[in-house]
Structure 1
Amino acid sequence: MKYFPVAFSGYAQLWADKSVRTLFIAAFFARIPMMAAPLVFTLYVVDDLDGTYAQAGVVAAATTLGAAIGSPWRGRLIDRLGMRRAILPSIVAVGLLYPLATFASYVWLIPISLLMGLFLIPVFSIVRLSLSVMVEERQRRTAFSADSVISEASFIIGPAAGVLLVTQAGGDAALYAVGACEVIAGLIFLRLNPPTRSASPVDAAAPAESTGKASILSVPVVFLFLISGGTMATLVGTDLGIIAELRELDKVGAIGFTYGLWGLSSLLGGLIYGSLNRSIRPTYLLLALGLTTIPVGLGEQVWSLSLWVIPTGFLCAPTMTAAAEWIAKLVPEERRGEAMGWQGTAFTIGGAASSPVIGAAIDEVGAWGGFVVGGLVATVIALACWGGQLIPAFRPVNYVSVDDENTVTT
């Protein structure tokens, strides 16, 4: 039996580093308006434009498509041009598109939303890429886990802040506020200019064309992208399933309580995973996440549903962290920004592809179908990746962690 000692001192060491601490604080505030934006746009379409939720879904899909296309492209720009030159077009575009959206009709809002996704400031890629070079390899797990915890905190605040803006100030003012906050977030990162490449003499002397020769495509990395997509399928299944279940129970007012337990358990899981001294295979984590998601629909009361979401929430942040940790390990540094971008696209595609199927299952059999389909998608992907990793040619190169003398594999 393997022993996984827990030590939270790693978080204190990270927080003591001023540059890392500043990056975490910037990431926390930058993600709040980005978490608020989808809900603000939904309410804007439904209330201000007198549209339907289906029309709001088309706008959301356009943004999702733009983000899926733009994430690897912007990550590639960071690798080639550096962070500042790569995000400057995004800052300008965001500053123009949000005010433009307040004047646009619904038809024009769709291409505007596509461009918003395309030029979305890549906070996720920037933070993970910067952490991969700012901290030692043995600290990456803790650093990525801390970033997942900060993301959860932003998720708790962002949608609530968006609803408050729309209800108190109106849709137009909310769009202006979200756009202004995203521009400010971009300017903060522009000012901080966190490193995205090691400053070692070897890297400094490397020829510029090496970026083009290094490759991010390998079977183990593709497995990690699939795991990222599978993780998002469980999140969508749990998200839609909770809403549907509480509507069936006529307890929609309890959404905050159930979501709160789900988010807090994910936050706790991320903290504990980051304190471990060795990796857990992302494949195993996704398998556990899928299997714990399937039975959530057994909760037939608010209290039981809220208890059932705790185990699946506890595994969310560790699964995403483990995948990012291994991508940073397996991809050459000069292509890591693009790889992080592709992981963002994997998240997006996983959510977009699974949403219609999960929604159809809920319509056909009830709320429990959302949990079952989301969990089954993750379980099948995990088993397929695990089977693929049994093939020696598809297995990532073993490595010995600095803080552990045992060999670790994905």
Structure 2
Amino acid sequence: MGFSGYAQLWSDRRLRALFVAAFFARIPALAAPLVLTLYVVEELGGDYKQAGLIAAATTVGAGVGSPWRGRLIDRLGIRRAIVPSIVMIGLLYPVATVATYAWLIPVSFLMGLFLIPIFSIVRLALSVMVTERQRRTAFSADSIVAEASFIIGPAVGALLVTQVSAAAALYAIGACEVIAGLIFWVLDPPTRSVTAVDAEEPETTPVATSFVSAPLVFLFLLSGGAMAALFGTDLGVVAELRELDEVSSVGIAYGAWGLSSLVGGLVYGSLSRSIRPTYLLLALGLATIPVGLADGVWSLSLLVIPAGLLCAPTMTAASEWIAKLVPEARRGEAMGWQGTAYTVGGAVSSPVIGAGIDGVGAWGGFVIGGAIATAIACVALFAQMVPRWRPSPELASIDGVRR
């Protein structure tokens, strides 16, 4: 285990600028789900099932838009691909503040459809800006940056909701997301290496689906399972704090969750070998279920730590393997499909999790989210025992180490 790789990354001015931009850009994006949940249950008088449907609408929109935007990035570059997002996000958040619940559903879908693809942009840029040996550390560093944003985003969002209003928080999120899009438009990080551009072949049309493989499909499935666990914890924490009448303490619980994920990502990035995402997701699901035993702010903050330690490593490992399996010319689209897997996992699981919270209480969110992730990991483990679905030797290794 060594941490010198992080210092090497930080010494590169281009990478430093990318990480700083990603940190600030993710803060409003990570605050949005919590603010929308509180907007539905507090200002619109809805329940958690209705809030889950809003989350599902947003994630379905993002799931539809993510591959499309990833393919646009591959073909047109970042600047031309994100202009529609900058314009539409600037319009949609103000509209959300005056929409009824029925209209908020299609507005939320459009928010997801035109979501600025920060995750895909950063991971795609990192995959070409660093060597393959550095990818684990680079992706882990990005996860650490994301967790730092996560510690701040929901806490600031909750503070705005409780001290001002949910509508004001939505206005602020919309404005900040537009600024984030403009930052990436100015930075315009590379998405193709010089070698790949020089060697580009004119006849690229026949390889439209050539990057798809059984291992890649399993990685998308695992990504969806990870999102189910995260949604279970996310909605469960909010519900638990509302039951305790401690919504203002959301920063403590979210801070513990985000900080532990940050530490987990830091440690994972310093490892010399990759860990299979299947094993990490199984551990994440099993660690999420016991969070339902919490009966106070501090017990909740302590119980989310084991699950938090596994969040960043699980998502980092999945991205690392995707970058290994997919050719550079199609990597943006593949990252977009991973984004779709994340959002579909959230879209499918969030209404179920919300209904569980409404039915049995906050603990149901943790149990259902963790159980879904565990079940998906088990299915993937057993399915990968089928010979024709096993990764071939050259695709079953990271850094030349057989898994």
- TM-score of the two chains, using structure 2 as the length reference: 0.89
Asked if 1:85 is matched to 2:80, the reply is: yes
Q: In the aligned structure 1, how far is the partner of 2:141 from the partner of 2:396?
A: 19
The letter of the residue matching 2:257 is W
Deviation by residue 1:260-288 (Cα, 9 ceiling, x = unmatched): 22221111000000011110111111111
Kindly tell me: are residues 164 and 316 of structure 1, through their superposed partners in 2, closer, same or farther at Cα, counting changes over 3 Å?
same
The corresponding residue for 2:8 is: 13
Among candidates 251, 255, 262, match of residue 260 of structure 1: 255
The letter of the residue matching 1:112 is V
The corresponding residue for 2:138 is: 143
Q: In the aligned structure 2, how far is the partner of 1:187 from the partner of 1:70?
A: 19
Q: In the aligned structure 1, how far is the partner of 2:316 from the partner of 2:388?
A: 25
Partner of 2:194, secondary structure, is coil
Q: In the aligned structure 1, how far is the partner of 2:38 from the partner of 2:296?
A: 29
The letter of the residue matching 1:238 is T
Q: Within 5 Å, give how 1:316-327 maps onto structure 2.
A: 316-327=311-322
Deviation at 1:221, TM superposition (A): 0.5
The corresponding residue for 2:183 is: 188
Kindly tell me: are residues 262 and 176 of structure 1, through their superposed partners in 2, closer, same or farther at Cα, counting changes over 3 Å?
closer
Q: In the aligned structure 1, how far is the partner of 2:42 from the partner of 2:161?
A: 10
Q: In the aligned structure 2, how far is the partner of 1:347 from the partner of 1:402?
A: 24
Structure 1: which 5+ runs fail to align? Answer: 1-5
Partner of 1:276, secondary structure, is coil
Deviation by residue 1:244-301 (Cα, 9 ceiling, x = unmatched): 4555666656543333222211110000000111101111111111222233334455
Deviation at 1:80, TM superposition (A): 1.5
The letter of the residue matching 1:78 is I
Asked if 1:65 is matched to 2:82, the reply is: no
The corresponding residue for 1:236 is: 231
* Aligned residues of 2:62 and 2:114 also touching (Cα < 8 A): yes
Among candidates 191, 210, 213, match of residue 204 of structure 2: 210
Aligned length, in residue pairs: 401
* Aligned residues of 1:40 and 1:166 also touching (Cα < 8 A): yes
* Aligned residues of 1:62 and 1:114 also touching (Cα < 8 A): yes
Q: In the aligned structure 1, how far is the partner of 2:95 from the partner of 2:141?
A: 36
Q: Within 5 Å, give how 1:347-386 maps onto structure 2.
A: 347-386=342-381
Deviation by residue 1:127-167 (Cα, 9 ceiling, x = unmatched): 00000000000111111111111111111111222233445
Q: In the aligned structure 2, how far is the partner of 1:167 from the partner of 1:88?
A: 33
* Aligned residues of 2:155 and 2:251 also touching (Cα < 8 A): no
Q: In the aligned structure 1, how far is the partner of 2:264 from the partner of 2:371?
A: 22
Among candidates 110, 117, 121, match of residue 116 of structure 2: 121
Among candidates 285, 305, 309, match of residue 310 of structure 1: 305
* Aligned residues of 1:211 and 1:334 also touching (Cα < 8 A): no
Q: In the aligned structure 2, how far is the partner of 1:14 from the partner of 1:222?
A: 30
The corresponding residue for 1:160 is: 155
* Aligned residues of 1:223 and 1:385 also touching (Cα < 8 A): yes
Deviation at 1:56, TM superposition (A): 4.9
The corresponding residue for 2:46 is: 52
Asked if 1:286 is matched to 2:289, the reply is: no
The corresponding residue for 1:408 is: 402
The letter of the residue matching 1:153 is A
Kindly tell me: are residues 39 and 369 of structure 1, through their superposed partners in 2, closer, same or farther at Cα, counting changes over 3 Å?
closer
Kindly tell me: are residues 258 and 103 of structure 1, through their superposed partners in 2, closer, same or farther at Cα, counting changes over 3 Å?
closer
The letter of the residue matching 1:319 is T
Kindly tell me: are residues 19 and 377 of structure 1, through their superposed partners in 2, closer, same or farther at Cα, counting changes over 3 Å?
same
Deviation by residue 1:304-352 (Cα, 9 ceiling, x = unmatched): 4433322111111100100011011111111111111111111111122
The letter of the residue matching 2:274 is S
Kindly tell me: are residues 243 and 118 of structure 1, through their superposed partners in 2, closer, same or farther at Cα, counting changes over 3 Å?
closer
The letter of the residue matching 2:93 is Y
Deviation at 1:205, TM superposition (A): 3.3
The corresponding residue for 1:3 is: none
Among candidates 178, 196, 205, match of residue 173 of structure 2: 178
- TM-score of the two chains, using structure 1 as the length reference: 0.88
Asked if 1:76 is matched to 2:64, the reply is: no
Among candidates 18, 21, 38, match of residue 26 of structure 1: 21
Q: In the aligned structure 2, how far is the partner of 1:176 from the partner of 1:64?
A: 20
